[in-house]
C-alpha cells in the first residue's frame, strides 16, 4: 500500500518519485497483516512537526507553462521517447 499526499498524481512515475523520495525506511515502512498475506505499507506523505519532523518540508517543484511549452517544442527533435503529459 502506498500513501501519498493528495497533490500526487496517480501516474506511475510521479507516484514512485513521491514514495521513494519521501520515505525514511525506519519510520515510514510497515508490514501489516492482510486478508491474503502480509501487506507492505510505505508512507510517502509530507512529514509533519507532530510526527517529530523538525526541518521545513520543501514545496513540490512545478514547471511554469512557459517551460512546459519550451520543452514540448524541443522534445521530439532530441530523439527522446514520447514525454508524458503534465497533469
For 18-39, what is each residue's pLDDT tens digit?
Answer: 999 999 888 899 999 999 999 9
In a domain, 87, yes or no: no
Is pTM beyond 0.85? Reply is no
Q: Decide if 85 contacts 13 (C-beta within 8 A).
A: no
Residue 16: per-residue pLDDT: 92
Domain that holds residue 28: 2-47+57-78
Q: How many domains does the chain have?
A: 1
CA-nearest of 66, 70, 87 to 78 is 70
In a domain, 85, yes or no: no
Residue 87: per-residue pLDDT: 41
In a domain, 83, yes or no: no
How does residue 48 score in pLDDT terms, banded at 50, 70 and 90? confident
Amino acid at each position: 500500500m502506498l500513501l501519498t499526499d493528495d497533490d500526487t498524481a496517480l501516474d506511475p512515475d510521479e507516484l514512485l518519485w513521491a514514495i521513494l523520495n519521501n520515505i525514511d525506511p525506519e519510520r515510514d515502512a510497515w508490514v501489516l497483516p492482510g486478508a491474503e498475506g502480509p501487506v507492505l505499507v510505505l508512507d510517502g506523505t509530507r512529514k509533519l512537526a507532530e510526527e517529530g519532523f523538525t526541518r521545513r518540508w520543501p514545496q513540490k517543484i512545478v514547471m511554469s507553462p512557459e517551460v512546459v511549452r519550451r520543452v514540448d517544442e524541443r522534445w521530439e527533435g532530441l530523439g527522446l521517447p514520447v514525454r508524458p503529459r503534465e497533469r
